Amino acid sequence: MTTLRPTPGQTIGPFYGFALPYPGGPELVPPGRAGAIRLHGRVLDGAGEPIPDALIELWQTSPEGEVVQRPGSLRRDGWTFTGWGRCSTDNTGTYSFTTLRPGGPVPFFALTVFARGLLDRLFTRAYLPGSPGLESDPLLSALPADRRETLIAQPDQDGYVFDIHLQGERETVFLIYPGQPTR
């Protein structure tokens, strides 16, 4: 009888597209709702190639600037705005959320990126251009101008475009929160 040796487990995806996306995940509000905007873009590797199996999570305030604390994100009812969504990228690395413009002194979308090859998730923000208070935001003002630009979404006809570059010359600024392990 042949004795089989254990093999190492698969510790890093790509398995995000299998179990984590859910119906209505990227639609924080129904398309066509009054005030609905689109936040979309691509997730790209260091060579500028699309990552077809990444997963993006979005958190945001309500249009009034309040932190939303309502249940219902995993089972959308078409009425309740929860401020949270999840979207996987397609074969071109593209993601798209339908949501409302966040409010508050400096409106932004908080984003988390999960992708193959990452040992842990990445955190970033997508700020909306032209917002009052943008120049005085503590995070943005602490960055050099060329790095600050990686956190500013660009307007288009439907909302905003925000490409996420995981590495390379145009690498998006990623955040480390207190208590988060660093590598």
pLDDT above 70 as % of the chain: 89
pLDDT at 32 over 80: yes
pLDDT of the residue at 56: 96
Contacts of 183 (CB under 8 A, 6+ apart): 119, 120
**Chain centroid offset of residue 98 CA:** 13
Of 109, 98, 97, 94, which is closest to residue 44 (Cα–Cα)?
A: 94
Domain boundaries, the chain: 16-165
The separation between the first and the last C-alpha atoms of the chain, rounded to the nearest angstrom, is 43
Question: What is the C-alpha separation between 39 and 59, in angstroms, rounded?
Answer: 12
Q: For the segment 117-171, what is each residue's pLDDT rounded down to a tens digit?
A: 787 889 999 999 998 889 899 999 999 999 999 999 999 998 999 999 999 999 9
Q: For the segment 65-89, what is each residue's pLDDT rounded down to a tens digit?
A: 999 887 776 677 777 888 999 999 9
pLDDT of the residue at 1: 73
Which CATH fold would you assign to the domain 16-165?
Protocatechuate 3,4-Dioxygenase, subunit A (2.60.130)
Q: At 131, which amino acid appears?
A: S
By CB atoms closer than 10 A (0-12, 13-18, 19+), residue 165 is middle
Q: For the segment 166-180, what is each residue's pLDDT rounded down to a tens digit?
A: 999 999 999 988 776
The H-or-E segment that residue 85 falls in is strand 84-88
